[in-house]
Amino acid sequence: MKNYIKRNIDHFKFTNTWFNDTAKPQWEKLISQIKPKKILEIGSYEGASTCYLIQKLAQENSIEIHCIDAWNIEMGDDTDYKHYGSNVDMSAVESRFRQNTKLAIEKVSKKVDFFIHKGFSDDQLVKLLSSGKKNYFDFIYVDGSHLGPDVLCDAVLGFRLLKINGVMAFDDYLWPAANKSLTRIPKLAIDSFINLYSEKINIFNAPLYQIYIKKISD
């Protein structure tokens, strides 16, 4: 197991700075441009991206955020869950997520309607659809299981939840496949989704490690 130094960023408890170092610079432009009010996050881990969205958006407008995560390392063969190895104490990760997001909500001036959907993403996404959330979300962030079939499932179900002109962001598009089958990384699934839905989406932006699409029709 790799050793990660615990870091406090504005008193948040994160065990790594990946989001702030890699994704945040891209999101500063993206989120300022689309200004989503209804957000779905698939894969939340310790809540770094969740806290960023809360603090970025809820100083000016009320927002609604739904977070899906199983916080369970026993996810089939996906032992590289969130890059951090198979010996991560996921109950501690979940606890940090809840503490971090609570702190983020306390720091902002506008209302945050916050929903945690604990469970595997396929089950939780179907539940959201059955509850009437089709074409509901402005922004969906896909960063859960990295197994190709799971990523494709998240993309297809997430697309149904995304409203017209909404944006879906895929993380780890270029996650390296060293010693892994191509079905065990996100890229093949994301490429397949983009090809299959090419008449219904536009590539919104394509930074090096993430890829963003905009839904233009159902």
* Tens digit of each residue's pLDDT (9 = 90 or more) over 73-91: 554 444 444 444 557 899 9
Detail the DSSP E strand segments found in 78-156: 112-118, 137-142
pTM, rounded to two decimals = 0.90
* Local confidence band at 124 (pLDDT 50, 70, 90 cut-offs): very high
Report, in angstroms and rounded to the nearest whole number, the Rg of the chain calculated over CA atoms.
16
Q: Would you tell me how many other CB atoms lie within 10 Å of the CB of residue 94? A: 20
For the chain, the distance separating the N- and C-terminal CA atoms, rounded to the nearest angstrom, is 44
Pick the more confident residue, 79 or 187: 187
pLDDT tier at 46 (50, 70, 90 boundaries)? very high
SS3 202: strand
Give residue 179's pLDDT band: very low, low, confident or very high (50, 70, 90).
low
pLDDT, residue 5, reads 41
Q: What is the pLDDT of residues 158-171, one digit of tens each?
A: 999 999 999 999 99
Nearest to 26 by CA among 169, 162, 145, 203: 169
Q: The CATH number of 18-215 is which of 3.30.590.20, 3.30.420.10, 3.40.640.10, 3.40.50.150?
A: 3.40.50.150
